[in-house]
């Protein structure tokens, strides 16, 4: 089993881990020949929120080499915190790490490789940099990992979801976050609604207060239906006014919103009475370096 790569885009990787870290302490990273998958699927997650992501190797790594007995794939389980620590010292712009720690060096190269130290599998980060005075510095981080068995990897399955009722392009996540943070103090449940005429609503409804925040003229991307032929041609065009809605936990939604650090474009899909799916694109949609997919299960209201 061999793995070695140079990390070119440290900031992006750092931000991806940062947005996932809010969900759970440990995450699974699966490296394949073309993609890196960051997965959070622990049952212990509050509200059952899951993240499945797919990031193109080219958008983060260079000189990427991977070899293994199971189809050249390596799946590891590691602590987000430790990984963030390593990336922090590798990144000159990720957060304010360098200014706070007082070290002032420019990162020249970051190499990550799979290694074994004292019978413990680690991801070894080797950071070389130059200080202001022109001296070379070398920093090494070992992040303890647990390599997952192919049999266990095979058991990892993305949640099954029905065909979404509607897709909607979300406004800036930062703005949504300000609003949802205010709502959190008033309610635990948030309703997300969207209609085909571009209306998006975030609502809460409690005994003492009822709040609807509405965006108009959101873009509704027309999705290519898989197996369009099966769809009967005389399918009525959807009522543009009809709001498709799903109830989710406010806390889970806020956890998803912490991905605003990495997002450029986000598409939300409402599967009524099932879940809310959020595709967070890293980089342009057209030339996406990858996508983080958040699944937030619906709360079924008995009323």
The residue ranges that bind other proteins (CB under 8 A) are: 171, 175, 178-179, 181-183, 185-186, 207-216
CB of 212 to other proteins, least distance (A): 5
Residue-by-residue DSSP string for 17-48: HHHHHTT-SEEEEEE-SSEEEEEE--TTSGGG
List of E strands, 118-160: 120-131, 136-147
Which residues, 6 or more positions from 243, have their beta carbon under 8 angstroms from its beta carbon?
Answer: 193, 194, 195, 199, 201
CB of 174 to other proteins, least distance (A): 10
132 or 216: CB nearest other proteins:
216
Q: Are 128 and 138 in contact (CB under 8 A)?
A: yes
Backbone angles phi, psi at 156, to 5 degrees: -75, 120
29 or 180: CB nearest other proteins:
180
CB of 218 to other proteins, least distance (A): 10
181 or 284: CB nearest other proteins:
181
Chain centroid to Cα 62, Å, comes to 21
153 or 211: CB nearest other proteins:
211
CB of 187 to other proteins, least distance (A): 10
Residue 261 has what DSSP assignment? G
Distance CA(210)–CA(214), nearest Å, equals 13
Distance CA(252)–CA(94), nearest Å, equals 25
85 or 215: CB nearest other proteins:
215
29 or 183: CB nearest other proteins:
183
29 or 176: CB nearest other proteins:
176
CA atoms within 13 A on the CB side of 288: 18
CB of 15 to other proteins, least distance (A): 22
Distance CA(194)–CA(229), nearest Å, equals 26
Distance CA(270)–CA(247), nearest Å, equals 10
CB of 182 to other proteins, least distance (A): 5
**Which of 90, 70, 1, 76 is closest to 38 using CA atoms?**
76
CB of 37 to other proteins, least distance (A): 34
**Which of 110, 107, 101 is closest to 131 using CA atoms?**
107
CB of 132 to other proteins, least distance (A): 32
- SS3 of residue 6 by DSSP: strand
124 or 213: CB nearest other proteins:
213
CA atoms within 13 A on the CB side of 124: 14
């Amino acid at each position: 089993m061999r793995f070695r790569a140079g990390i070119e885009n440290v900031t992006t990787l750092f931000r991806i881990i940062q947005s996932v870290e809010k969900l759970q302490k440990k995450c699974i990273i699966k490296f394949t020949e073309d993609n890196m998958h960051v997965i959070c699927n622990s049952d212990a997650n509050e509200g059952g929120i899951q993240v499945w992501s797919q990031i193109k190797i080219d958008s983060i790594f260079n000189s990427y080499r991977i070899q293994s007995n199971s189809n050249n794939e390596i799946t590891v389980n590691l602590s987000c915190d430790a990984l963030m620590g390593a990336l922090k010292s590798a990144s000159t712009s990720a957060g304010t790490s360098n200014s706070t720690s007082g070290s002032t060096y420019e990162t020249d190269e970051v190499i990550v490789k799979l290694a074994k130290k004292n019978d413990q599998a680690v991801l070894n980060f080797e950071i070389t940099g130059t200080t202001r005075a022109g001296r070379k510095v070398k920093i090494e981080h070992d992040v303890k990992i647990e390599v997952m068995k192919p049999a266990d990897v095979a058991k990892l399955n993305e949640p099954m979801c029905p065909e979404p009722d509607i897709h909607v392009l979300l406004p800036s996540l930062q703005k949504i976050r300000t609003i949802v943070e205010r709502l959190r103090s008033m309610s635990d449940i948030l309703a997300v609604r969207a209609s085909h005429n571009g209306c998006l609503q975030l609502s809460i409804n409690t005994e003492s207060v009822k709040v609807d925040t509405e965006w108009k003229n959101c873009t509704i991307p027309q999705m290519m239906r898989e197996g369009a032929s099966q769809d009967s041609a005389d399918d009525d065009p959807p009522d543009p006014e009809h709001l498709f809605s799903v109830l989710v936990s406010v806390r889970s939604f806020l956890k998803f919103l912490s991905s605003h650090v990495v997002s450029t474009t986000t598409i939300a899909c409402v599967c009524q009475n099932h879940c809310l799916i959020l595709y967070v694109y890293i980089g342009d949609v057209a030339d996406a370096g990858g996508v983080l997919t958040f699944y937030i299960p619906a709360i079924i209201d008995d009323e």
